[in-house]
Structure 1
Amino acid sequence: MTSVTEQLNTLFTSIAFAGRASADDWVRDSGLTRQQGFALRYIEENQHRDVIARELAVVSGTTPASVASLLQGLEDRGYITRTPSPDDSRVKLLAITAAGSDLIEGFDEAVSAAQVRLFSGLSPAEQEQLVTLLERIIETAGVPVMAAPPRRGGSPSGRRGPGGR
């Protein structure tokens, strides 16, 4: 017999994987790998503050060598540029090109639509009740809330909550 705690963990895991699967479907259809899609989106959202490869390696949990290879591939395909930093010519600043931005256009909308479908079996009141219960779990357990990444263009993505990408 499965305990309620085990059932909850199984259900949370299933929901998380379903959300990730929708993002993976979109990325696959774009012709990118998950890592390339993440890199393009991260660079686009943060290029205003001079993103460098080392930062991308840290936030993605990837080795610098893997990031260097990934960036070379994105640059070869015309999706990013790397330019020397005015402060240190050994450091390259990353920026997304118009082609790279066009490629990832629609990602946020596709993922958001998949999330809406995922929770559509609950009424708006039930969704609010679920949010309240989950926030209580987060608060009493002292679990850090993982903020969802901002939407393209830097505007907030709405309610911040557990999960995110």
Structure 2
Amino acid sequence: MDETRWLSQREQEAWVRFAAVLELLPSALDTQLNKDTGLTHFEYFCLSVLSETSGRKLLTSELAARTNASLPRLSRVLTKLESREFITRAPCTSDRRATEVTLTDSGWDKVVASAPGHVAEVRRLVIDTLEPEEIDQLANISAKLLTRLDPDQRMLASSPLYRRR
């Protein structure tokens, strides 16, 4: 059995701080979006991903991959978004086994109305806290972590196509 490679003091400090960010940031984003728009961050993320696609439509499996969600989690969120008439779901015309998710005009309006507050909060919590070179470092560190966390490049952020558009 291999001996455990314990974290050094410096590594432990980095890990504990990073773990705290992982815990606190989603809640902070949820709080702002929920207060201002009635959406969770994941609901907003789903609508946002759809808003950036051709025809504002994706197969459920593609949306799950781009949002890094399990199909059951995505299905629950899509049910909520559909009840609020932000999306529609229909069988795919080219593959009846698949379901297409389409952003409605109301969903588009919700994304457009939600984006400014969300971007302001992302700026306040992350971007404006960092120096320009630290933003590049954050992008590079995140890309490296994604090579381990998403080796199949299922998420758009992991794709080489997403790099510095």
Match among 44, 49, 55 for residue 48 of structure 1? 55
Alpha-carbon separation, structure 1, partners of 2:38 and 2:108 = 14
TM-score (norm 1): 0.61
- 3-state SS, counterpart of residue 124 of structure 2: helix
User: Which residue number corresponds to residue 10 of structure 2?
Assistant: 4
Deviations 1:95-151 (A, max 9, x none): 1112112223244433332343335456xxxx134346657x849xx54478759xx
Alpha-carbon separation, structure 2, partners of 1:67 and 1:12 = 26
User: Which residue number corresponds to residue 5 of structure 2?
Assistant: none
Alpha-carbon separation, structure 1, partners of 2:121 and 2:27 = 9
Q: 1:93 to 1:114 in 2, by over 3 A?
A: same
Runs of 4+ in 1 over 6 A off after TM superposition: none
Could you tell me whether the CA contact under 8 Å between 1:44 and 1:95 is conserved in 2? no
- 1:8-157 alignment to 2 at 5 Å? 8-29=14-35, 30-48=37-55, 50-118=57-125, 120=128, 127-131=131-135, 138=141, 143-144=145-146
- 3-state SS, counterpart of residue 86 of structure 1: coil
Identity %: 24
Tell me the matched-pair count.
Answer: 146
- 3-state SS, counterpart of residue 105 of structure 1: helix
Q: 1:128 to 1:61 in 2, by over 3 A?
A: closer
Q: Where do 5+ consecutive residues of structure 2 fail to align?
A: 1-7, 148-154
